[in-house]
Amino acid sequence: MKAEARRLEKQVSATRQTIEKLVHTLTETKGEARRAVTEHLEKEQERLRTLETRVAEVRAQLEALQAQHIDEADVARALQEFDAIWEVLLTPERERLLQLLIERVTYSRETEELRIDLSPAGIATLRAELDGETP
């Protein structure tokens, strides 16, 4: 979510710069070219509104995630039940579970270290599903 927020903020910034350039170009253009620039400007303004809406959604989701408290007991419970769950899952379900639980996998050639970062949001979702709640 943080990576998406950063990506979206970069897109918002780039779109604002494009809009500024189009506004400047619009003041210097006439006729058919002006209409084309105006249409392009309207599309970029709509894109900006969409991006800003998505940024707000991502920020709200980040705040909700940060407000969640995942304690060791939740993690331990999910891991204890993992083998039993894994055995009965079909391949698509296994893929979903891995995507849900794993945030990032990194490997260092130098140290030959494999690191798997779990997703707190995924753990919370799994916990809620195991408890029969809607995440």
Mean pLDDT, residues 115-130: 75
Over residues 15-25, the pLDDT tens digits come to 999 999 999 99
Query: Over 80: is that where the pLDDT of 75 sits?
Result: no
> Could you tell me the pTM of the whole model?
0.53
Burial of 76 (0-12, 13-18, 19+ CB in 10 A): exposed
Query: Over 60: is that where the pLDDT of 134 sits?
Result: no
Half-sphere exposure of 14 (CA within 13 A, CB side): 8
Distances in whole angstroms, Cα of residue 17 to Cα of each of 3, 8, 43, 54, 95: 21, 14, 14, 19, 40
Q: Which residue has the higher pLDDT, 92 or 68?
A: 92
Query: Over 90: is that where the pLDDT of 13 sits?
Result: yes
Over residues 41-70, the pLDDT tens digits come to 999 999 999 999 999 998 888 887 777 666
Helix (H) or strand (E) holding 24: helix 2-27
Please report, for the chain, the start and end positions of each structural domain, with discontinuous segments joined by +: 2-67, 72-130
Query: Over 70: is that where the pLDDT of 135 sits?
Result: no
Over residues 79-89, the pLDDT tens digits come to 777 788 788 88
Mean pLDDT, residues 30-38: 92
Helix (H) or strand (E) holding 58: helix 31-67
Report the distance separating Cα 14 and Cα 8, nearest Å: 10
Query: Over 80: is that where the pLDDT of 93 sits?
Result: yes
Chain-centroid distance, C-alpha 60: 12
